[in-house]
Protein backbone atom coordinates (compact mmCIF):
# COMPACT_ATOMS: atom_id res chain seq x y z
CA UNK A 1 0.00 0.00 0.00
CA UNK A 2 1.40 3.39 -0.96
CA UNK A 3 2.03 6.13 1.58
CA UNK A 4 2.50 9.58 0.00
CA UNK A 5 5.49 11.44 1.39
CA UNK A 6 4.76 14.94 2.68
CA UNK A 7 8.05 15.98 4.30
CA UNK A 8 11.54 14.50 3.88
CA UNK A 9 14.44 15.11 6.23
CA UNK A 10 17.75 14.97 4.38
CA UNK A 11 20.33 13.38 6.69
CA UNK A 12 23.37 14.57 4.78
CA UNK A 13 25.25 17.64 3.57
CA UNK A 14 26.96 19.13 0.52
CA UNK A 15 25.98 18.51 -3.05
CA UNK A 16 23.94 15.37 -2.38
CA UNK A 17 21.75 17.21 0.14
CA UNK A 18 21.17 19.92 -2.46
CA UNK A 19 20.43 17.24 -5.07
CA UNK A 20 17.76 15.54 -2.95
CA UNK A 21 16.14 18.81 -1.89
CA UNK A 22 15.77 19.93 -5.51
CA UNK A 23 13.93 16.77 -6.55
CA UNK A 24 11.70 16.94 -3.48
CA UNK A 25 10.75 20.49 -4.41
CA UNK A 26 9.84 19.39 -7.95
CA UNK A 27 7.64 16.64 -6.50
CA UNK A 28 5.93 19.02 -4.08
CA UNK A 29 7.51 17.42 -1.01
CA UNK A 30 8.62 19.68 1.86
CA UNK A 31 12.20 19.29 3.11
CA UNK A 32 14.19 19.55 6.31
CA UNK A 33 17.96 20.10 6.22
CA UNK A 34 19.90 18.96 9.26
CA UNK A 35 23.33 20.53 9.58
CA UNK A 36 26.39 20.87 11.74
CA UNK A 37 27.62 24.17 13.12
CA UNK A 38 30.14 24.30 10.26
CA UNK A 39 27.36 24.07 7.66
CA UNK A 40 24.85 26.55 9.06
CA UNK A 41 25.22 28.80 5.99
CA UNK A 42 25.37 25.98 3.44
CA UNK A 43 23.45 25.80 0.18
CA UNK A 44 21.32 22.90 1.43
CA UNK A 45 20.30 24.88 4.50
CA UNK A 46 19.30 27.84 2.32
CA UNK A 47 17.26 25.69 -0.07
CA UNK A 48 15.37 23.57 2.46
CA UNK A 49 11.98 24.55 3.84
CA UNK A 50 13.18 23.95 7.41
CA UNK A 51 16.56 23.52 9.03
CA UNK A 52 17.82 22.03 12.29
CA UNK A 53 21.33 22.23 13.70
CA UNK A 54 22.13 18.81 15.12
CA UNK A 55 25.64 19.26 16.50
CA UNK A 56 29.12 20.74 16.16
CA UNK A 57 31.38 20.34 13.15
CA UNK A 58 32.76 16.82 13.80
CA UNK A 59 30.64 14.29 11.90
CA UNK A 60 30.51 11.88 14.84
CA UNK A 61 28.61 14.51 16.81
CA UNK A 62 26.36 15.67 13.98
CA UNK A 63 25.83 13.77 10.72
CA UNK A 64 26.60 10.43 12.38
CA UNK A 65 24.47 11.09 15.46
CA UNK A 66 21.39 8.90 15.06
CA UNK A 67 19.59 10.29 18.15
CA UNK A 68 20.06 13.89 16.96
CA UNK A 69 18.72 13.10 13.48
CA UNK A 70 15.71 11.19 14.81
CA UNK A 71 14.89 14.01 17.22
CA UNK A 72 15.09 16.54 14.38
CA UNK A 73 12.73 14.40 12.28
CA UNK A 74 10.31 14.11 15.17
CA UNK A 75 10.42 17.82 16.01
CA UNK A 76 9.78 18.93 12.42
CA UNK A 77 7.08 16.36 11.64
CA UNK A 78 9.02 14.68 8.85
CA UNK A 79 7.58 11.40 7.67
CA UNK A 80 10.64 10.19 5.75
CA UNK A 81 14.44 10.36 5.99
CA UNK A 82 16.74 10.36 2.97
CA UNK A 83 20.34 9.43 3.91
CA UNK A 84 22.06 10.47 0.66
CA UNK A 85 25.39 8.66 0.34
CA UNK A 86 28.18 8.26 2.88
CA UNK A 87 27.61 8.94 6.58
CA UNK A 88 24.67 6.71 7.70
CA UNK A 89 23.39 5.75 4.25
CA UNK A 90 24.49 2.12 4.54
CA UNK A 91 24.10 1.70 8.29
CA UNK A 92 21.44 -0.97 8.94
CA UNK A 93 21.09 0.17 12.54
CA UNK A 94 20.09 3.64 11.34
CA UNK A 95 17.58 2.20 8.88
CA UNK A 96 16.15 -0.02 11.61
CA UNK A 97 15.81 2.89 14.04
CA UNK A 98 14.06 4.98 11.38
CA UNK A 99 11.60 2.18 10.73
CA UNK A 100 11.04 1.53 14.44
CA UNK A 101 10.35 5.23 15.07
CA UNK A 102 7.77 5.35 12.29
CA UNK A 103 9.82 7.16 9.66
CA UNK A 104 10.09 5.95 6.08
CA UNK A 105 13.74 5.22 5.33
CA UNK A 106 14.50 6.12 1.71
CA UNK A 107 16.77 3.18 1.01
CA UNK A 108 17.09 -0.56 1.28
CA UNK A 109 15.38 -2.31 4.22
CA UNK A 110 17.58 -2.73 7.27
CA UNK A 111 17.69 -6.54 7.00
CA UNK A 112 18.73 -6.43 3.34
CA UNK A 113 21.33 -3.77 4.06
CA UNK A 114 22.79 -5.89 6.86
CA UNK A 115 23.09 -8.95 4.60
CA UNK A 116 24.70 -7.09 1.73
CA UNK A 117 26.85 -4.82 3.91
CA UNK A 118 28.61 -7.88 5.27
CA UNK A 119 30.88 -8.62 2.32
CA UNK A 120 31.27 -12.28 3.25
CA UNK A 121 27.53 -12.87 3.51
CA UNK A 122 26.98 -10.94 0.28
CA UNK A 123 29.54 -13.08 -1.57
CA UNK A 124 27.87 -16.26 -0.39
CA UNK A 125 24.43 -14.97 -1.37
CA UNK A 126 25.58 -13.92 -4.83
CA UNK A 127 27.42 -17.20 -5.38
CA UNK A 128 24.20 -19.06 -4.59
CA UNK A 129 22.44 -16.83 -7.13
CA UNK A 130 24.95 -17.90 -9.78
CA UNK A 131 27.10 -14.76 -9.95
CA UNK A 132 30.80 -15.46 -10.63
CA UNK A 133 33.28 -14.71 -7.83
CA UNK A 134 37.04 -14.31 -7.91
CA UNK A 135 38.86 -17.25 -6.31
CA UNK A 136 39.12 -16.66 -2.58
CA UNK A 137 37.44 -17.26 0.74
CA UNK A 138 33.68 -17.49 0.85
CA UNK A 139 33.60 -16.97 4.62
CA UNK A 140 35.69 -14.71 6.89
CA UNK A 141 39.09 -16.09 7.86
CA UNK A 142 40.15 -15.75 11.49
CA UNK A 143 43.60 -17.26 11.31
CA UNK A 144 46.49 -15.55 9.51
CA UNK A 145 48.19 -18.89 8.76
CA UNK A 146 45.03 -20.25 7.14
CA UNK A 147 44.76 -17.07 5.10
CA UNK A 148 48.39 -17.36 4.00
CA UNK A 149 47.82 -20.97 2.94
CA UNK A 150 44.82 -19.92 0.85
CA UNK A 151 46.85 -17.12 -0.73
CA UNK A 152 49.50 -19.64 -1.74
CA UNK A 153 46.78 -21.87 -3.18
CA UNK A 154 45.05 -19.24 -5.33
CA UNK A 155 48.29 -17.49 -6.25
CA UNK A 156 49.63 -13.96 -5.79
CA UNK A 157 48.76 -11.16 -6.02
CA UNK A 158 45.85 -11.32 -3.59
CA UNK A 159 43.79 -8.64 -1.93
CA UNK A 160 42.83 -8.67 1.73
CA UNK A 161 39.46 -7.04 2.38
CA UNK A 162 37.51 -6.05 5.47
CA UNK A 163 34.14 -7.77 5.71
CA UNK A 164 32.60 -4.46 6.81
CA UNK A 165 34.69 -2.31 4.45
CA UNK A 166 33.53 0.11 1.82
CA UNK A 167 34.32 3.34 0.02
CA UNK A 168 37.76 2.08 -0.96
CA UNK A 169 38.86 1.59 2.67
CA UNK A 170 39.81 -1.58 4.49
CA UNK A 171 41.69 -3.37 1.72
CA UNK A 172 45.30 -4.15 0.95
CA UNK A 173 47.02 -5.78 -2.03
CA UNK A 174 49.74 -8.35 -1.32
CA UNK A 175 52.06 -9.41 -4.12
CA UNK A 176 54.50 -11.62 -2.23
CA UNK A 177 54.22 -14.16 0.56
CA UNK A 178 56.96 -12.42 2.56
CA UNK A 179 54.66 -9.40 2.99
CA UNK A 180 51.52 -11.33 3.82
CA UNK A 181 51.75 -11.49 7.61
CA UNK A 182 52.34 -7.78 8.13
CA UNK A 183 49.66 -6.87 5.58
CA UNK A 184 47.13 -9.14 7.28
CA UNK A 185 47.74 -7.63 10.71
CA UNK A 186 47.67 -4.08 9.37
CA UNK A 187 44.38 -4.62 7.53
CA UNK A 188 42.79 -6.29 10.55
CA UNK A 189 43.79 -3.40 12.80
CA UNK A 190 42.54 -0.84 10.29
CA UNK A 191 39.23 -2.65 9.85
CA UNK A 192 38.69 -2.88 13.60
CA UNK A 193 39.51 0.81 14.09
CA UNK A 194 37.55 2.20 11.14
CA UNK A 195 34.57 -0.15 10.95
CA UNK A 196 34.49 -1.68 14.43
CA UNK A 197 34.79 -5.11 12.79
CA UNK A 198 38.17 -6.77 12.26
CA UNK A 199 36.93 -9.72 10.20
CA UNK A 200 38.71 -10.21 6.87
CA UNK A 201 38.39 -12.24 3.71
CA UNK A 202 40.73 -12.90 0.81
CA UNK A 203 40.45 -13.04 -2.95
CA UNK A 204 42.67 -13.03 -6.01
CA UNK A 205 43.70 -9.55 -7.14
CA UNK A 206 43.38 -8.67 -10.81
CA UNK A 207 46.29 -6.43 -11.81
CA UNK A 208 44.60 -5.34 -15.01
CA UNK A 209 40.83 -5.03 -14.67
CA UNK A 210 38.03 -2.63 -15.30
CA UNK A 211 35.53 -1.58 -12.66
CA UNK A 212 32.00 -1.71 -14.05
CA UNK A 213 28.74 -1.38 -12.17
CA UNK A 214 25.04 -1.76 -12.77
CA UNK A 215 22.38 0.70 -11.60
CA UNK A 216 19.45 -1.16 -10.03
CA UNK A 217 15.93 -0.04 -9.15
CA UNK A 218 13.61 -2.34 -7.22
CA UNK A 219 10.17 -1.72 -5.76
CA UNK A 220 8.26 -3.29 -2.88
CA UNK A 221 6.14 -5.29 -5.33
CA UNK A 222 8.93 -7.60 -6.46
CA UNK A 223 10.02 -5.79 -9.62
CA UNK A 224 13.77 -5.38 -10.18
CA UNK A 225 15.21 -3.65 -13.23
CA UNK A 226 18.57 -2.27 -14.27
CA UNK A 227 19.32 1.01 -16.02
CA UNK A 228 22.54 0.05 -17.75
CA UNK A 229 26.23 -0.05 -16.90
CA UNK A 230 28.74 2.53 -15.74
CA UNK A 231 32.52 2.38 -16.00
CA UNK A 232 34.38 3.63 -12.91
CA UNK A 233 37.88 2.42 -13.72
CA UNK A 234 39.67 5.76 -13.34
CA UNK A 235 40.48 5.52 -9.64
CA UNK A 236 43.17 6.48 -7.23
CA UNK A 237 43.62 4.15 -4.26
CA UNK A 238 40.18 2.67 -4.94
CA UNK A 239 38.57 6.13 -4.93
CA UNK A 240 36.71 6.93 -8.15
CA UNK A 241 37.56 10.13 -10.01
CA UNK A 242 35.89 9.74 -13.41
CA UNK A 243 32.79 7.73 -14.33
CA UNK A 244 30.90 7.22 -17.55
CA UNK A 245 27.82 5.50 -18.96
CA UNK A 246 27.44 3.32 -20.86
CA UNK A 247 30.60 1.37 -20.06
CA UNK A 248 32.66 1.68 -23.27
CA UNK A 249 34.10 -1.14 -25.34
CA UNK A 250 31.68 -3.84 -24.19
CA UNK A 251 29.65 -5.90 -26.61
CA UNK A 252 25.89 -5.62 -26.17
CA UNK A 253 25.83 -9.33 -25.31
CA UNK A 254 28.39 -8.95 -22.50
CA UNK A 255 26.69 -5.83 -21.13
CA UNK A 256 23.37 -7.65 -21.09
CA UNK A 257 24.87 -10.63 -19.25
CA UNK A 258 26.36 -8.36 -16.59
CA UNK A 259 23.07 -6.48 -16.21
CA UNK A 260 21.08 -9.70 -15.95
CA UNK A 261 23.47 -11.03 -13.29
CA UNK A 262 23.00 -7.86 -11.24
CA UNK A 263 19.22 -8.16 -11.42
CA UNK A 264 19.38 -11.84 -10.47
CA UNK A 265 21.54 -11.07 -7.45
CA UNK A 266 19.25 -8.30 -6.22
CA UNK A 267 16.20 -10.47 -6.67
CA UNK A 268 17.87 -13.15 -4.53
CA UNK A 269 18.63 -10.54 -1.85
CA UNK A 270 15.09 -9.15 -1.79
CA UNK A 271 16.45 -5.74 -2.67
CA UNK A 272 14.28 -2.60 -2.54
CA UNK A 273 15.21 0.90 -3.71
CA UNK A 274 18.10 2.26 -5.76
CA UNK A 275 21.33 0.28 -5.53
CA UNK A 276 24.45 -0.59 -7.45
CA UNK A 277 26.03 -3.96 -8.11
CA UNK A 278 29.75 -3.66 -8.75
CA UNK A 279 31.89 -6.02 -10.84
CA UNK A 280 35.49 -6.43 -11.92
CA UNK A 281 35.91 -7.11 -15.62
CA UNK A 282 39.02 -9.06 -16.63
CA UNK A 283 40.81 -8.55 -19.97
CA UNK A 284 39.42 -11.90 -21.20
CA UNK A 285 35.85 -10.64 -20.78
CA UNK A 286 35.09 -12.62 -17.63
CA UNK A 287 33.35 -10.57 -14.95
CA UNK A 288 33.33 -11.11 -11.18
CA UNK A 289 31.01 -9.86 -8.45
CA UNK A 290 32.55 -7.34 -6.04
CA UNK A 291 29.83 -5.88 -3.84
CA UNK A 292 26.42 -4.25 -3.65
CA UNK A 293 26.16 -0.61 -2.61
CA UNK A 294 22.81 -0.15 -0.87
CA UNK A 295 22.46 3.54 -1.61
CA UNK A 296 22.54 6.19 -4.28
CA UNK A 297 26.01 6.39 -5.82
CA UNK A 298 28.02 9.59 -6.23
CA UNK A 299 28.11 8.84 -9.96
CA UNK A 300 24.34 8.39 -10.41
CA UNK A 301 24.05 11.50 -12.66
CA UNK A 302 25.69 9.75 -15.63
CA UNK A 303 22.90 7.17 -15.59
CA UNK A 304 20.32 9.94 -15.33
CA UNK A 305 21.86 11.75 -18.31
CA UNK A 306 21.69 8.74 -20.65
CA UNK A 307 18.31 7.40 -19.51
CA UNK A 308 16.36 10.54 -18.63
CA UNK A 309 15.37 8.95 -15.31
CA UNK A 310 15.52 10.98 -12.07
CA UNK A 311 16.89 8.35 -9.68
CA UNK A 312 16.10 10.37 -6.58
CA UNK A 313 12.48 10.73 -7.68
CA UNK A 314 12.32 6.97 -8.23
CA UNK A 315 13.80 6.39 -4.78
CA UNK A 316 11.10 8.54 -3.24
CA UNK A 317 8.31 6.82 -5.17
CA UNK A 318 9.57 3.38 -4.17
CA UNK A 319 9.85 4.50 -0.53
CA UNK A 320 6.23 5.66 -0.73
CA UNK A 321 5.23 2.14 -1.79
CA UNK A 322 4.49 2.91 -5.43
CA UNK A 323 5.27 0.28 -8.10
CA UNK A 324 7.97 1.09 -10.63
CA UNK A 325 6.59 2.84 -13.67
CA UNK A 326 9.66 2.04 -15.78
CA UNK A 327 9.91 -0.88 -18.16
CA UNK A 328 12.73 -3.38 -18.52
CA UNK A 329 13.69 -2.11 -21.97
CA UNK A 330 15.53 1.07 -20.92
CA UNK A 331 18.44 1.69 -23.25
CA UNK A 332 21.07 4.44 -22.93
CA UNK A 333 20.97 7.33 -25.36
CA UNK A 334 24.38 8.84 -26.06
CA UNK A 335 27.29 8.98 -23.61
CA UNK A 336 27.66 10.76 -20.27
CA UNK A 337 30.88 11.38 -18.33
CA UNK A 338 31.30 12.67 -14.77
CA UNK A 339 34.41 14.19 -13.21
CA UNK A 340 34.68 14.68 -9.46
CA UNK A 341 36.38 17.93 -8.51
CA UNK A 342 37.91 17.51 -5.06
CA UNK A 343 39.68 19.94 -2.77
CA UNK A 344 42.91 17.96 -3.04
CA UNK A 345 46.39 18.78 -4.30
CA UNK A 346 47.66 16.30 -6.93
CA UNK A 347 51.15 17.82 -6.55
CA UNK A 348 51.18 16.70 -2.89
CA UNK A 349 49.88 13.15 -3.23
CA UNK A 350 46.30 14.43 -3.33
CA UNK A 351 46.51 15.85 0.19
CA UNK A 352 43.33 17.62 1.35
CA UNK A 353 43.46 21.34 0.55
CA UNK A 354 40.62 23.17 2.33
CA UNK A 355 40.28 26.93 2.54
CA UNK A 356 38.00 29.82 1.62
CA UNK A 357 37.13 30.17 -2.06
CA UNK A 358 38.06 33.55 -3.50
CA UNK A 359 36.93 32.72 -7.02
CA UNK A 360 34.49 30.06 -8.19
CA UNK A 361 33.57 29.88 -11.86
CA UNK A 362 31.78 26.67 -12.84
CA UNK A 363 31.17 25.50 -16.40
CA UNK A 364 27.94 25.81 -18.35
CA UNK A 365 26.78 25.51 -21.92
CA UNK A 366 24.94 22.85 -23.89
CA UNK A 367 24.53 19.48 -22.18
CA UNK A 368 26.67 20.36 -19.16
CA UNK A 369 25.39 19.69 -15.63
CA UNK A 370 27.13 20.71 -12.40
CA UNK A 371 26.07 19.21 -9.06
CA UNK A 372 27.61 21.32 -6.32
CA UNK A 373 27.08 23.24 -3.10
CA UNK A 374 29.92 25.77 -3.44
CA UNK A 375 30.24 29.40 -4.53
CA UNK A 376 32.74 32.22 -4.13
CA UNK A 377 33.23 32.92 -0.44
CA UNK A 378 32.47 29.34 0.59
CA UNK A 379 34.75 28.07 3.35
CA UNK A 380 35.70 24.47 2.51
CA UNK A 381 35.63 22.73 5.91
CA UNK A 382 38.37 20.26 6.85
CA UNK A 383 35.94 17.96 8.65
CA UNK A 384 34.28 16.16 5.72
CA UNK A 385 34.78 14.56 2.33
CA UNK A 386 36.73 16.76 -0.08
CA UNK A 387 34.19 16.68 -2.93
CA UNK A 388 33.45 20.20 -4.20
CA UNK A 389 31.54 19.58 -7.41
CA UNK A 390 30.61 16.98 -9.97
CA UNK A 391 30.77 18.06 -13.59
CA UNK A 392 28.65 15.88 -15.87
CA UNK A 393 28.37 16.15 -19.64
CA UNK A 394 26.32 14.38 -22.31
CA UNK A 395 27.02 13.97 -26.02
CA UNK A 396 25.81 11.68 -28.79
CA UNK A 397 29.05 9.69 -28.78
CA UNK A 398 32.09 9.14 -26.56
CA UNK A 399 34.54 11.25 -28.58
CA UNK A 400 32.21 14.24 -28.40
CA UNK A 401 31.57 13.64 -24.68
CA UNK A 402 35.31 13.67 -23.91
CA UNK A 403 35.74 16.89 -25.91
CA UNK A 404 32.81 18.48 -24.09
CA UNK A 405 34.17 17.49 -20.69
CA UNK A 406 37.61 18.86 -21.48
CA UNK A 407 35.97 22.13 -22.55
CA UNK A 408 33.92 22.21 -19.34
CA UNK A 409 36.94 21.59 -17.13
CA UNK A 410 38.92 24.28 -18.97
CA UNK A 411 36.15 26.75 -18.06
CA UNK A 412 36.35 25.83 -14.38
CA UNK A 413 38.15 28.13 -11.94
CA UNK A 414 38.17 27.37 -8.23
CA UNK A 415 40.79 29.26 -6.24
CA UNK A 416 41.45 30.50 -2.73
CA UNK A 417 44.10 30.69 -0.05
CA UNK A 418 45.33 27.18 0.61
CA UNK A 419 42.87 25.72 -1.88
CA UNK A 420 43.94 23.27 -4.57
CA UNK A 421 41.70 21.08 -6.71
CA UNK A 422 41.89 18.09 -9.02
CA UNK A 423 40.54 20.04 -12.01
CA UNK A 424 43.76 20.21 -14.02
CA UNK A 425 44.64 16.62 -13.25
CA UNK A 426 41.25 15.47 -14.54
CA UNK A 427 41.65 17.56 -17.70
CA UNK A 428 45.00 15.87 -18.26
CA UNK A 429 43.88 12.30 -17.63
CA UNK A 430 41.00 12.62 -20.11
CA UNK A 431 43.59 13.16 -22.83
CA UNK A 432 45.46 9.95 -22.00
CA UNK A 433 45.62 7.68 -25.08
CA UNK A 434 44.38 4.66 -23.14
CA UNK A 435 41.35 6.50 -21.82
CA UNK A 436 40.52 7.83 -25.25
CA UNK A 437 40.82 4.32 -26.68
CA UNK A 438 38.74 2.87 -23.81
CA UNK A 439 41.56 0.46 -22.94
CA UNK A 440 42.13 1.97 -19.49
CA UNK A 441 41.82 0.01 -16.27
CA UNK A 442 41.93 0.58 -12.53
CA UNK A 443 45.75 0.83 -12.57
CA UNK A 444 45.99 3.74 -15.02
CA UNK A 445 46.02 6.64 -12.54
CA UNK A 446 48.50 4.82 -10.32
CA UNK A 447 51.00 4.86 -13.19
CA UNK A 448 50.10 8.29 -14.56
CA UNK A 449 51.90 11.40 -13.33
CA UNK A 450 52.55 14.98 -14.41
CA UNK A 451 49.14 16.62 -14.16
CA UNK A 452 48.61 19.36 -16.69
CA UNK A 453 48.62 22.98 -15.70
CA UNK A 454 46.32 25.63 -17.01
CA UNK A 455 49.31 27.47 -18.44
CA UNK A 456 50.33 24.43 -20.45
CA UNK A 457 47.04 24.21 -22.31
Sign of the CA dihedral with 82 first, then 22, 343, and 375 last? negative
**Cβ–Cβ < 8 Å for 426, 269:** no
Strands in 167-272 per DSSP E: 169-174, 200-204, 210-218, 224-236, 239-245
Output the CA–CA distances (angstroms, integers) from residue 449 to 226, 251, 387, 413, 432, in the order listed.
Answer: 36, 31, 21, 22, 11
**Cβ–Cβ < 8 Å for 157, 123:** no
Residue 440 phi/psi, 5-degree rounding, is: -75, 160
Question: How far, rounded to the nearest angstrom, does the alpha carbon of residue 392 sit from its chain's CA centroid?
Answer: 15
169: annotated active-site residue: no
Which among 131, 132, 158 is positioned nearest to 147, based on CA atoms? 158
Output the CA–CA distances (angstroms, integers) from residue 102 to 37, 269, 285, 319, in the order listed.
Answer: 27, 24, 46, 13
Catalytic residue among 13, 210, 295, 317: 295
For the beta carbon of residue 146, count every other beta carbon within 10 angstroms: 12
Ramachandran quadrant class, 38 (left: phi over 0; alpha: psi -120 to 50; beta: rest): alpha
Q: Which residues are catalytic?
A: 295
Amino acid sequence: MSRPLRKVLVANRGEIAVRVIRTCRELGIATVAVHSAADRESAAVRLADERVQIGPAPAKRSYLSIPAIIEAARATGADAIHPGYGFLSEDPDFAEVCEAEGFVFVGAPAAVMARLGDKSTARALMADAGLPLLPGSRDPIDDADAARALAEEIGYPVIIKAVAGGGGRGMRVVRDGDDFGAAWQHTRATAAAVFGDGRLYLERYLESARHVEVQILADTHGTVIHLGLRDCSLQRRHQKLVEESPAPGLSSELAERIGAAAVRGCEAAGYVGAGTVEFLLAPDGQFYFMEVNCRLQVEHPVTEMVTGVDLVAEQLRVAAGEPLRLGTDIRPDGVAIECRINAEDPEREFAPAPGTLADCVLPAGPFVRVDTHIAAGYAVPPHYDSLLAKVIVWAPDRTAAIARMRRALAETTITGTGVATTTDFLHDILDHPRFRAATHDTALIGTHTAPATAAAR
